[in-house]
C-alpha cells in the first residue's frame, strides 16, 4: 500500500496538468450525458415484481387497458349551445394529436344525434339529461380522451403541451372554465415537480455545505477546493446515470443532495492533511503521507459506505435498487476525485500562488 502511495504521489507531482486535463475531459463527457437524464413518473414501474402487480399488467394487456386524459369543463349551465360548440371544437383538435385514439363527451353525443349543435337548450337537455358525463346541477362535464400514453417523458410533455395549446387557442365563453387532468397531465406535473425539487435541493445542499466549509477554513478558495471532489463526483454520477439511461424516480431525485453531504468529508480530510504535512515536508513527501495515511482511511470509509448502500439492492422495490446503485457509484466517484484529482489541483494551486507572490516581489 505504501509503495502504491509513493507511485501515485510521484505521478501527481510530475504530471498534475495531465491529470486535471483528463478529469476535465471526463467531466465534459459526463456533462453531455446529463442531457439524457430521465424521470420515471409511471407508478406501475416503481412497484415490486409481485404476483398482484403481474396480474394487473396481464389484465391490462389481455383486455386492452387505456390511459385516460380528461378535459374538465365548468359553466353555469353546460347544456348551453355555446358551451357544447366550444367543447366540440376542443375535442376535434385533441383527436388530431398523436397518441389520442378516441373521445367521449356530451358534445359528441349531441353531434352524433343532430349532426350539428341545436340552438335550443331543451333539445340538448332531452338528449343528455341522464348522461353519466354530466353532474347533477349541470355545472360540470368533461371530455374523456383515450389512448396509450408513451413511456417517453418528453413525448408525454409534448402531448400535454399540445392539449393545453388546443384549449388556449379555442375561443372560450367568459363564464366557461376549462382544465386538463388525467394520466398524461399528472405524469407531466410529477416530472415538472421532480425536476424543480431536484435542482432546488441540490442547490441548497451545495451552498449550505460551501458556507460551512468556508467558515471551517476561513477561506473561500479552500472552501471551493474542498468541494471539488464532491462536485466532480456528482457531475460524473449524473453523466453516468444519463448515459446508462437510468430513470430517476420520486424516491431517487434527492440522491444528489445526499451525495454532497456524504462526499464532502473526503475533500476536507485531504486538504487538512496536505496543508499540515506541507509545513515540514516537500510536495512529494506530503502527498505520500496524504495518500498512505488519509487516503487509506478515505478508501475504506468509501468502501464501507458503498457496501451499506448496495444492501438496498437486496430489497424488492426498484426505486431502492436505483438509490443503492446511484449513491454507491457517486461515493466511488467522490473517492476517485479526492485521491486522484484533488492532489494535482492542490499542487497547481500552490505553484500558481508561488508565481503570483514572486511577481509581486
Pick the CATH number of 2-36+219-360 from 3.40.50.300, 1.20.1640.10, 2.40.110.10, 3.40.50.740: 1.20.1640.10
51-187 CATH fold: Alpha-Beta Plaits (3.30.70)
95: how many CB neighbours lie within 10 A of its CB? 16
Residue 24: the pLDDT is: 94
Residue 173: the pLDDT is: 87
Closest CA to 145 of 89, 196, 105, 199: 105
288: how many CB neighbours lie within 10 A of its CB? 23
Cβ contacts of residue 103 below 8 Å, gap of 6+?
A: 91, 94, 95, 143, 144, 145, 146
∠ CA 155-324-154 to the nearest 5 degrees? Answer: 5
Q: What is the pLDDT tens value at each position of the chain, 361 positions in all? A: 567 767 777 777 788 899 999 999 999 999 999 988 888 777 766 666 667 666 766 766 555 556 788 999 999 998 889 999 999 999 999 988 887 888 889 888 888 888 888 888 888 888 887 788 888 888 999 999 887 777 777 888 888 899 999 999 998 888 899 999 988 888 888 888 888 888 898 889 888 888 888 888 787 888 888 889 999 999 999 999 999 988 888 878 888 888 998 888 898 888 888 888 888 888 778 888 888 888 888 999 999 999 999 998 887 788 888 889 999 999 999 999 999 999 899 888 888 877 877 777 6
Do 2-36+219-360 and 51-187 agree at the fold level?
no
Outline where the chain has alpha helix (H): 2-14, 16-33, 51-63, 81-95, 106-114, 121-128, 153-168, 183-217, 220-243, 255-278, 283-289, 295-310, 318-340, 342-360
> What residues does each domain of the chain span?
2-36+219-360, 51-187
Closest CA to 290 of 310, 306, 307, 268: 268
pLDDT tens digits, 105-114 = 988 888 888 8
Residues forming beta bridges with residue 146, ordered by sequence position: 68, 102
pLDDT tens digits, 97-155 = 887 888 889 888 888 888 888 888 888 888 887 788 888 888 999 999 887 777 777 88
Residue 233: the pLDDT is: 93
Q: Indicate the pTM of the whole model.
A: 0.80
B/e letters for 51-90, b = 16+ CB within 10 Å, e = fewer, are eeeeeeeeeeeeeeeebbbbbebbbeebbbbebbbbbbbb
Amino acid at each position: 500500500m505504501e509503495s502504491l502511495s509513493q507511485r501515485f504521489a510521484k505521478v501527481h507531482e510530475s504530471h498534475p496538468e495531465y491529470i486535471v486535463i483528463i478529469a476535465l475531459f471526463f467531466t465534459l463527457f459526463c456533462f453531455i450525458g446529463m442531457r439524457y437524464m430521465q424521470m420515471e413518473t409511471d407508478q406501475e414501474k416503481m412497484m415490486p415484481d409481485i404476483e398482484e402487480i403481474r396480474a394487473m399488467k396481464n389484465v391490462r394487456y389481455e383486455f386492452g387497458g387505456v390511459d385516460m386524459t380528461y378535459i374538465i369543463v365548468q359553466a353555469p349551465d353546460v347544456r348551453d349551445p355555446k358551451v357544447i360548440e366550444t367543447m366540440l371544437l376542443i375535442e376535434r383538435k385533441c383527436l388530431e394529436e398523436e397518441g389520442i385514439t378516441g373521445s367521449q363527451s356530451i358534445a359528441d353525443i349531441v353531434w352524433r344525434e343532430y349532426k350539428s349543435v341545436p340552438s335550443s337548450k331543451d333539445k340538448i337537455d332531452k338528449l343528455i339529461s341522464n348522461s353519466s358525463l354530466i353532474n347533477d346541477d349541470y355545472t360540470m362535464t368533461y371530455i374523456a380522451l383515450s389512448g396509450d400514453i408513451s413511456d417517453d417523458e418528453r413525448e408525454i410533455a409534448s402531448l400535454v403541451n399540445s392539449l393545453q395549446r388546443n384549449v388556449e387557442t379555442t375561443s372560450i365563453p367568459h363564464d366557461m372554465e376549462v382544465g386538463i387532468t388525467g394520466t398524461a397531465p399528472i405524469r407531466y406535473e410529477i416530472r415538472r415537480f421532480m425536476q424543480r425539487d431536484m435542482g432546488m435541493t441540490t442547490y441548497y445542499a451545495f451552498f449550505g455545505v460551501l458556507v460551512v466549509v468556508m467558515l471551517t477554513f476561513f477561506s473561500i478558495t479552500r472552501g471551493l477546493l474542498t468541494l471539488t471532489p464532491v462536485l466532480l463526483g456528482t457531475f460524473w454520477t449524473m453523466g453516468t446515470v444519463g448515459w446508462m439511461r437510468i430513470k430517476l424516480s420520486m424516491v431517487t431525485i434527492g440522491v444528489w443532495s445526499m451525495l454532497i453531504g456524504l462526499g464532502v468529508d473526503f475533500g476536507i480530510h485531504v486538504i487538512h492533511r496536505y496543508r499540515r504535512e506541507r509545513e515540514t515536508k516537500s510536495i512529494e513527501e506530503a502527498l505520500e503521507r496524504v495518500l498512505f495515511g488519509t487516503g487509506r482511511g478515505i478508501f475504506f470509509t468509501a468502501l464501507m459506505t458503498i457496501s451499506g448502500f448496495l444492501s438496498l439492492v437486496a430489497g424488492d422495490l426498484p426505486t431502492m435498487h436505483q438509490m443503492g446503485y446511484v449513491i454507491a457509484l457517486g461515493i466511488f466517484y467522490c473517492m476517485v476525485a479526492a485521491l486522484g484529482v484533488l492532489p494535482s489541483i492542490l499542487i497547481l494551486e500552490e505553484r500558481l500562488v508561488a508565481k503570483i507572490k514572486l511577481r509581486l516581489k
